[in-house]
């Protein structure tokens, strides 16, 4: 304590009497006067480093975005694999065509449309959480109801209890009428992964299910896609058949199998895929020791 402050306290003790002197003497001995603490100043929320990371990145079509790796293209059909690790974020990318998703790795995600304020999902996006409606991230694909059926071996659409045991497909078709530019951010703790099929045509709203070459009932249908579930037990095979539209086959569950046709494809983990053009004859066989589920996705081209 400075000598000036000390002398001031002593003078006050002489003028104010014994009680005041005692109080001030306590202050001189190191007892600080009681004060009311100031209210803490709230700290500003830290800037999202992910947003800074993509600020300089280009805006690209979805099939050119690094997290949406293009695996295959034939004509207007594209097959992509989407992977966003936890804490990562995609570039801004544009969707102009209807898509079908098969979600294989689930984690909480959020999307934000170009031009929307931070924290606001914007038009056509999902905000924090899961979902694909209106242009958001692919929704989490859990089991859902579907009708069993199908000729020539292999149930189309159900497990032993009448419901599929693997993830099912979801589709966003609104991009055809209203393109969306957004990013996808993984705010969860696991890898977000999905297989993506794109149909770059106006679709075919006219054809009926019997005319497509399928015997079963689809678990998803719209003018751009029909998705059928194929479940094969060990050693079971689906005989050779053909379809009037291009077909993408996606492995939905663990298992081992093979599709035979103009080109042979192996299935040994979820996300493996095959493609057959319209009219190409092909069959599917379970070559493993456990059941396997696949989705046959009809890409409905404009006629």
Domain contains 167: yes
Nearest to 251 by CA among 169, 160, 131, 152: 169
Task: State the average pLDDT over residues 253-270.
Answer: 97
Q: 73 in a domain, yes or no?
A: yes
Q: What is the pLDDT of residue 39?
A: 53
Same-domain status, 174 and 289: yes
Average pLDDT over residues 86-93: 96
Q: What pLDDT is attached to residue 139? A: 57
Q: Residue 204: its pLDDT value, please?
A: 95
Give yes or no: residues 149 and 248 share one domain: yes
What's 173's domain CATH number? 2.60.120.10
Same domain, 12 and 66: no
% of the chain at pLDDT higher than 70: 66
Q: What is the mean pLDDT of residues 276-286?
A: 96
Domain membership flag for residue 183:
yes
My answer on whether 15 and 67 are in the same domain is no
What is the rounded average pLDDT of the residues 265-276?
Answer: 98
In a shared domain, residues 5 and 90: no
The residues, any chain, with a CB within 8 Å of residue 167's CB and separated by 6 or more, are 102, 103, 104, 140, 141, 142, 143, 252
Q: 44 in a domain, yes or no? A: no
Residue by residue, DSSP assigns 129-175 as S---TTS-SPPP----------SSSSEES--TTSS-SS--EEEE-GG
Q: Provide the domain limits for residue 11.
A: 1-35
Average pLDDT in the 63-72 region?
98
Q: What confidence score (pLDDT) does residue 49 get?
A: 79
Same domain, 25 and 157: no
* DSSP 3-state of 130: coil
- 197 or 16, greater pLDDT: 197
Q: Do both 106 and 154 map to the same domain?
A: yes
Q: What angle do CA 173, 174, 178 make, to 5 degrees?
A: 140
Task: Provide the CB-side half-sphere exposure for 150 (13 A, CA).
Answer: 24
List pLDDT tens digits, range 172-196: 999 999 999 999 999 999 999 999 9
Q: Mean of the per-residue pLDDT values for the chain?
A: 79
How much is the average pLDDT of 74-98?
Answer: 97
pLDDT for residue 66 is more than 90: yes
Collapsing DSSP to helix, strand or coil, 50 comes out as: helix
Does residue 69 sit in the same domain as residue 24? Answer: no
Q: Is the pLDDT of residue 152 over 60?
A: no
Residues 73-89, mean pLDDT to the nearest whole number: 97
Please check whether residue 140 lies inside any domain of the structure: yes
Note whether 225 and 137 are same-domain residues.
yes
Residue 86 confidence (pLDDT): 96
DSSP class of residue 123 equals T
Residue 207, pLDDT > 70, answer: yes
Residue 9 has pLDDT above 80, yes or no: no
Q: Give 32-60 pLDDT, tens digit per residue.
A: 555 555 555 555 545 667 788 888 899 99
18 and 71 housed in the same domain: no
More confident residue, 141 or 165: 165
Does residue 42 fall inside a structural domain? no
Q: Residue 136 and residue 116: Cα distance in Å, rounded?
A: 14
Predicted pLDDT at 165: 75
Q: Starting at the edge strand that comes first in sequence, how are the strands of the sheet with 265-267 ordered?
A: 237-241, 282-286, 257-260, 265-267
The mean pLDDT of 207-233, rounded to a whole number, is: 86
Q: Which of 13-17, 121-125, 146-150, 169-173 is modeled with the greatest confidence?
A: 169-173
- Domain presence at residue 12: yes
Tell me how many domains the chain contains: 2
Q: Assess if residue 248 is contained within a domain.
A: yes
Query: Do 29 and 65 fall into the same domain?
Result: no
> pLDDT for 94-119, tens place per residue?
999 999 999 999 899 999 999 886 54
Whether residues 11 and 159 fall in one domain:
no
> What is the pLDDT, as a whole number, of residue 116?
84
pTM of the model as a whole: 0.74
């Amino acid at each position: 304590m400075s000598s000036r402050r000390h002398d001031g306290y002593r003078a006050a003790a002489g003028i104010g009497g014994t009680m005041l002197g005692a109080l001030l003497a306590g202050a001189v001995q190191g007892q600080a006067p009681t004060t009311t603490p100031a209210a803490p100043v709230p700290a500003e929320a830290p800037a999202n480093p992910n947003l800074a990371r993509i600020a300089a990145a280009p805006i690209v079509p979805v099939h050119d975005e690094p997290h949406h790796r293009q695996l295959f293209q034939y004509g207007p059909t594209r097959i992509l694999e989407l992977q966003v690790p936890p804490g990562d974020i995609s570039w801004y990318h544009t969707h102009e065509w209807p898509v079908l998703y098969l979600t294989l790795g689930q984690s909480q995600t959020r999307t934000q449309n170009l031009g929307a304020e931070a924290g606001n999902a914007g038009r056509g996006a999902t905000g924090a959480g899961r979902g694909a409606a209106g242009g958001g991230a692919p929704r989490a694909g859990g089991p859902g109801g579907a009708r069993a059926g199908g000729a020539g071996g292999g149930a189309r659409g159900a497990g032993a209890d009448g419901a599929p045991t693997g993830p099912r497909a979801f589709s966003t078709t609104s991009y055809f009428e209203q393109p969306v530019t957004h990013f996808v951010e993984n705010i969860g703790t696991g890898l977000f992964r999905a297989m993506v099929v794109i149909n770059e045509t106006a679709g075919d709203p006219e054809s009926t299910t019997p005319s497509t070459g399928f015997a079963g009932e689809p678990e998803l249908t719209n003018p751009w896609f029909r998705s059928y579930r194929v479940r094969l037990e060990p050693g079971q095979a689906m005989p050779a058949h053909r379809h009037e539209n291009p077909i993408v086959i996606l492995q939905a569950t663990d298992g081992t199998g093979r599709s035979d046709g103009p080109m042979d494809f192996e299935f040994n983990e979820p996300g493996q895929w095959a493609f057959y053009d319209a009219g190409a004859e092909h069959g599917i066989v379970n070559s493993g020791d456990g059941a396997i589920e696949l989705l046959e996705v009809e890409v409905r081209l404009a006629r």
